[in-house]
Structure 1
């Protein structure tokens, strides 16, 4: 798990794992492990709690000297259909949301809930990918709401987000909120993942680690916003209960 984030670079670490035998998986263990990977500290040094609004809070144990890292690590959690996703970021607020792509009345839902410009964009998309495009917008709105600490309250579904335009997995500014960025890191299978950050004007690196066992592969995808880099590295390994990272050369 060492050498994942680049020291001094604003980084979001995202971990994707399976549920616990059909039951919702507890988020505490992956949140501690993600914070450990992000900051290069043993996971036993972290404790997980909840913020007053209900969101997760990762912090150093009271008897551990956190210097030079932060005393608290902003975090976010999302679940869908047997999958749990956690995200941590030392540089400021973070939000994550995940959905499984599935049949749904995309145009009807977009016309009811989305900004008219987004609904029109979706109507012009190829029908074969319309459900995924709808969920890209949905997850982006959820992730932005989590990063801002407001969720989807007060018309959050009407909040404009950048529509996918072939720019890849880069985190892009939210219309009207240049300090908030959102994007869709690469994932495998039928998952649609969105990551958002708040309080930044510069590039953010997103490290995604998947351990959900598609064909026995561990996949790590790295996106460096502002650099146009998207690399996927994979290797067959024995399955473990915690993430195993296989770095490319």
Structure 2
């Protein structure tokens, strides 16, 4: 599908940034001829002819690409930690009530805010963490025309923001030679899972 969004996920390895760049280039080679990875002045990755985004955590990297529109992706590992201080600093009263101290709910909001900032090309600048995002998948009321989709992922929370709902989000999980064979979508967008 030419207008689908491709999301590739892989273990972070020893250097998660280098792994993310290599994975992004590999994905880009499936969509355009001879992609060249460059970075904008603000550090945003760019590949001519594609909208791209990347994110990395301690254990995973995730990259996204599409031929048209804009895209942002963010990934956070799920492991026990206190997030109440961050939440109180950056989230409004309705968000705090919704998350109710739950780490997974906090990460759903946090990754969505990061993904939206990346899709807009500004990251978290200009009050990015204060920007309202939907609690469930759907349109971002604070940024008309932008949508947030969360993809199910074991041990991590993954959010994708995009300006045009695609016909499908194709997720490819790279785990050496063994790949997960099923991912169930909790989104309104179809999610297709492929091996590498």
TM-score (norm 1): 0.69
1:205–1:225 CA contact under 8 A, matched in 2: no
Q: Does 1:51 align with 2:14?
A: no
CA distance in 1, matches of 2:103, 2:186: 27
How many equivalent residue pairs? 195
2:35–2:47 CA contact under 8 A, matched in 1: yes
Aligned to 2:89: 112
Aligned to 1:206: 169
Aligned to 1:121: 98
Deviations 1:68-99 (A, max 9, x none): xxxx2111111111321111111211111101
1:110–1:119 CA contact under 8 A, matched in 2: yes
* Structure whose residues are more often strand by fraction: 1
Shift in alpha-carbon separation, 1:55–1:107, aligned structure 2, 3 A: same
Bigger radius of gyration: 1
Shift in alpha-carbon separation, 1:231–1:47, aligned structure 2, 3 A: closer
Aligned to 2:150: 184
Relative contact order higher in (CA < 8 Å, ≥ 6 apart) = 2
SS in 1 for 2:152: coil
SS in 2 for 1:218: coil
Q: CA deviation at 1:205?
A: 2.1
SS in 2 for 1:46: coil
Aligned to 2:74: 97
Aligned to 1:173: 139
CA distance in 1, matches of 2:86, 2:51: 32
1:136–1:194 CA contact under 8 A, matched in 2: yes
CA distance in 1, matches of 2:74, 2:187: 18
SS in 2 for 1:175: coil
2:151–2:186 CA contact under 8 A, matched in 1: no
- Which aligned segments of 4 or more residues in structure 1 are displaced greater than 6 angstroms? none
TM-score (norm 2): 0.85
Q: Does 1:195 align with 2:160?
A: yes
CA distance in 2, matches of 1:29, 1:121: 37
Aligned to 1:217: 179
CA distance in 2, matches of 1:77, 1:232: 19
CA distance in 2, matches of 1:12, 1:163: 22
Structure 1, unaligned runs of 5 or more = 1-5, 60-71, 165-170, 234-242, 245-249
CA distance in 1, matches of 2:103, 2:123: 22
SS in 1 for 2:135: coil
Aligned to 1:18: 11
